[in-house]
Amino acid sequence: MILGIQVDAYAHSTKIVKDYKVMVGWAKEPAILGSKNAIEIIFELATDYDKQKYDFAATNIKDTTDDEPKKSDTLGLSKMLEADIELGGEKTPLNLSEIPERPGVYYDYFTPKVTGIPSVFIYGNIKNIEFESKFRFEKVKDSSELDLVPTDSFLIPNWIKSRAGWWAEEQISDSDFVSGLEHLIKEKILIVPQTESNGKTGAQIPEWVKTIAGWWSKEMIPDIEFIEAIQFLIKQGIIRI
C-alpha cells in the first residue's frame, strides 16, 4: 500500500518591500523529509493593512518616481532575484522561474534532506527598489509526525484534471471550482478519504492549492497530492460536504 501525506498547514513568511508584499514558503505544505517540493516566492501589491501587519525588508530605493505601483511590476522578475535556502546548516542556491499560470509567483524545486526550520535569503530588485531579507517559515517534518492516507481510499476521475487546469488558469472562478467539487463528492463521483471540518467558515483558498491544481492537471504530481489539497479545503470549511 502506497501512503500519502495529509496537508494540514499553510504558513508563508511575509515581508513588505515599499508598496509590494513578498511571501515565501513551501509550494506544498507541510514539507516532508525526502518528499519533492518547491520553494515559492509570491509578489503582490501591498495594502495599507499589509504595511501595518508585516515587517519591512531592508531596501535601497534607486528611483524616486511617483508612478503608482501596479500588478505588472511584479511580473518577469526571475532575473532580478537571487535566492538561496539554508536547511540543516547547508545552503543551496535557488534557480527561480516564474509560474506561467500564476504570474508574479516564482519557484524552484527542492527536496528537503533533513528536518528543521528553513531560511530563504533573497536579494532582489523590483521597480528599481533593491531589497534583501531573510524569510523563515514552515518546518520540514518527518512523515512519522503526520497522519497518513492510503491511496486506495480515494477515487478521482481523470477528466477532473481539465477542470483543475481551467481553475489554475483562472478560466473559472474559485466559487465555481469549489461548488463543482462539492457536487462531485456528494454524488460520490469523486471519493475523498473521510475528513472532518474544523468548524470554521470564511477561510480563503491559499495560493498553493491553485498551484497544486495546476501541477496536477499537467500530471506533474500524483493524484494523492491533489486529494490532500482537497482534504485541506474540507478541513478549513471551504469545501462543505
Amino acid at 114: V
Q: pLDDT digit string (tens) for 31-47?
A: 888 888 889 999 999 99
How far is residue 164's CA from residue 141's CA, in Å, rounded to a whole number?
28
Q: Name the 3-class secondary structure at 131.
A: strand
Q: pLDDT digit string (tens) for 115-144?
A: 999 999 999 999 889 999 999 998 898 876
Of the listed ranges 67-71, 104-108, 183-187, the least confidently predicted one is 183-187
How far is residue 212's CA from residue 210's CA, in Å, rounded to a whole number?
5
Neighbour-count burial of 148, counting CB atoms closer than 10 A to its CB (0-12 exposed, 13-18 middle, 19+ buried): exposed
Task: Give 91's strand partners.
Answer: 86
Rounded to the nearest integer, the mean pLDDT of the chain is 84
Q: Name the 3-class secondary structure at 50.
A: helix
Single out the residue of 165, 176, 168 nearest to residue 217, CA to CA: 165
Reported confidence tier of residue 4, pLDDT bands at 50, 70, 90 = very low
Q: What is the pLDDT of residue 154?
A: 66
Q: What is the pLDDT of residue 98?
A: 92
Domains of the chain: 6-143 (2.60.40.1930), 154-235 (no CATH)
Residue 197 CA from chain centroid, whole number: 21
Most confidently modeled range among 8-12, 92-96, 198-202: 92-96
Contacts 24+ apart (CB under 8 A), 156-163: 156/190, 156/191, 156/223, 156/226, 156/227, 157/189, 157/190, 160/184, 160/190, 161/216, 161/217, 161/219, 162/217
Mean pLDDT throughout 173-183?
A: 89
Q: What is the pLDDT of residue 36?
A: 80
Residue 128 C-alpha cell reads as: 528599481
Cα→Cα distances 70→45, 98, 114, Å: 7, 18, 39
How far is residue 69's CA from residue 74's CA, in Å, rounded to a whole number?
9
